[in-house]
Amino acid sequence: MSSLRLLNKVIFLLLLPLIILPARGEEEAIDIWKTDSISDEKINEIIIEDNSKNESKLYETIKPVVSNIKEEKNLEKIKQNIFGLFDPEENNLNINMWINSDGKIILEKLNKIDEIKLSKDTEDILLTTLFTNSYSPEKNIEPLIFLDFKSKWLIKNKKNKIIENYLLKNPGLMGQSILVEYLVNEFLSEANVDKACEETKFINTDYQSEYLDLFSIYCLTNENKIEEAQLRFDLLKEKGFENNFYENKINFLLGYLESPDIKVSDKNLFEFYLSHIVNSDFKYEPNERTSKEIWRYLSAANLIYTSETVDIEDEVKINLLEKATSDGSYDSNELFNIYKKIMFNINQFLDIENSYKSLPNFKARALLYQAVLLSDNYDKKMQLILKLNTLFEKDNIGNVALDEIKIILSEIDREEISEKYLDFYDYYLKKEEDDLKKIKFNNNIIHRSKLLKYFIDEKYKVKNLEKDLESVYKKIKKNKDYFFSIQDIILLESLKADGFKIPRKIEKRYSLENLTIPENLINLNEQNEQGLFLLNIVEMVGEDKFVDLDADTLYFIISSMNKFNFKKLRNNIIAKSFPERS
């Protein structure tokens, strides 16, 4: 038996490259310029969460230590390769968009941006900026650091679909292990081990991750490729690997042990998963230190309390479930079903204003929630929802009730709401899909006229522009009190920037004298620092939507983009900011 295993080991060493990367040699060469656009709808499907203030900064300025020849070769390889998702020409950018920028300034800018909860508008620009195919910045920054930033940003914002696309289009990506580990854990936390194993296809020859080594061996075992798994594990052992917990579990799965050690490890999700699958009588009591990934796995694998099994009098457990729901690790429907099961007497409902204040917080929330469902008076219902929302926020779990409150409010006609509650009502029911609504053109106002079709409709024929401008001008000319707004000026100056000649009779009606562009943006334009310019815009706009910006800010942003010839990005801002929608 030992001789056979020795022979198998020799064969395995010869075939190792094929075992590690079975699919890479069969894939067609990937053209980095041939990119599929990631639609807004797809990006919208990816949930953005986990903005915990306790997390360390995403971007650190520590330079990696080049400790050996392999790492030096990797650095050189990065300098010679381009990693991204979007063709530069798609957004009028350049492959050298970072070449003139100081890496230290880029890092400072990214650190500041990381502290902002970006709107979808600014997040889209940041995504374009970071993932346009281009050479990494090199002044005062190692290319590996910049690549690491991008990976961590994708992970923090849970851009799962984009991560897969990024790995697929960049098979030679250095430092890709952190992304593959993340994807493995995402699917493992959903108790979808087959999909988790499938993600290991993205591992390339440059990966360095013991975690992925161990998980890959398990995947071979799960696929019943026992000999291959054993050989991989033996090789790892020969390199000095020691982990009694893992060795015990994998030897049991390989069939070398009749029974495993049933000790549960929650050191990481994979060890926790192994603890579960080898123990038919598995039990685990989560606590405040239990990781979000393990909470999610417990829920997905039906190993956690439900509304049918939880003790509704156990305040500690309910509080844990509330926190887990807030973290996105427990089903909010289950939590609200638990609230429905908590019993109250009629007097508590009749005197609810005083009753809920004397209860533990979780019971107070349950009482208010039940009262909301029972109330048929809209003002009373709104009053109770506000109190319920305040109680959630008081315990820093405000996002627990978001979806449930939206459902309740969506069943109430806005006209039935008193004016004092309208702001709260509108805040919860605001829709990100507003951009998809039908645009209403108003030819009495330049920046809302059919001239907008040039910026928002790809089918619009430029030859119609002169006729349309003349038609709109005739309308406003009849209005002696018509005042050219900054938005009007932005639209006309953007047409000029694209080479369209504005008739003198129209140019005479407005002035640029009081409109300015910040000096730092002018300097970035003169030095052709495209990437750093876009980071500045992301930082400036931050949490705001473009439609909410003041006219002066819109002017200097769009005027600067005109100077850079960023037509597509500019058109997107105009399309979101200017039209009136039905």
State the Cα–Cα distance between residues 68 and 397, nearest whole angstrom: 47
Q: Assign 80 a pLDDT band (cuts: 50, 70, 90).
A: low
Instruction: Give me the pLDDT at residue 400, please.
Output: 86
Does the pLDDT value for residue 61 go beyond 60? no
Dihedral of alpha carbons 557, 560, 562, 565, sign = negative
Instruction: Give me the pLDDT at residue 270, please.
Output: 96
State the Cα–Cα distance between residues 107 and 110, nearest whole angstrom: 5
Instruction: Give me the pLDDT at residue 421, please.
Output: 86
Instruction: Give me the pLDDT at residue 331, please.
Output: 87
Rounded-to-10 torsion of CA 407, 409, 412, 414 = -140
State the Cα–Cα distance between residues 256 and 69, nearest whole angstrom: 39
Alpha-helical segments (H) within 206-360: 210-222, 226-238, 244-254, 269-277, 292-300, 315-326, 332-341, 346-350, 352-355
Instruction: Give me the pLDDT at residue 165, please.
Output: 96
State the Cα–Cα distance between residues 23 and 277, nearest whole angstrom: 28
Instruction: Give me the pLDDT at residue 32, please.
Output: 36
Structure tokens at 22: 């079975």
Q: Assign 579 a pLDDT band (cuts: 50, 70, 90).
A: confident
Q: Per DSSP, what are the bridge partners of residue 86?
A: 132
Instruction: Give me the pLDDT at residue 21, please.
Output: 45
- Give the model confidence (pLDDT) of 177-225 as tens digits: 999 999 999 999 999 999 999 999 998 877 788 999 999 999 999 999 9
Q: Assign 234 a pLDDT band (cuts: 50, 70, 90).
A: very high
Q: What percent of the chain has pLDDT over 90?
A: 62
Does the pLDDT value for residue 41 go beyond 50? no
- Give the model confidence (pLDDT) of 391-408 as tens digits: 999 998 988 888 888 889
Rounded-to-10 torsion of CA 384, 386, 387, 392 = 130
Cα of 469 vs its chain's centroid, Å = 41
Mean pLDDT score, 470-474: 91
3-state percent helix, strand, coil for the chain, nearest multiple of 5 = 60, 0, 35
Q: Assign 52 a pLDDT band (cuts: 50, 70, 90).
A: very low
Task: Return the SS3 of 127.
Answer: helix
Q: What average pLDDT does the structure give for the chain? A: 84
Instruction: Give me the pLDDT at residue 72, please.
Output: 53
Burial label for 52, CB within 10 Å (0-12, 13-18, 19+), is exposed
Q: How many CB atoms lie within 10 A of CB 39?
A: 9
* Closest to 378 (Cα-Cα) out of 427, 431, 424, 332: 424
Higher pLDDT, 69 or 365: 365
State the Cα–Cα distance between residues 155 and 144, nearest whole angstrom: 17
- Give the orientation angle of helix 361-374 with respect to helix 332-341, to 10 degrees: 90
Q: Assign 261 a pLDDT band (cuts: 50, 70, 90).
A: very high
Instruction: Give me the pLDDT at residue 232, please.
Output: 92
- Give the model confidence (pLDDT) of 135-149 as tens digits: 999 899 888 899 999
Does the pLDDT value for residue 427 go beyond 90? no
Structure tokens at 122: 């600014």
The answer to whether the pTM exceeds 0.85 is no
Q: Per DSSP, what are the bridge partners of residue 581?
A: 439
Structure tokens at 204: 């390339």
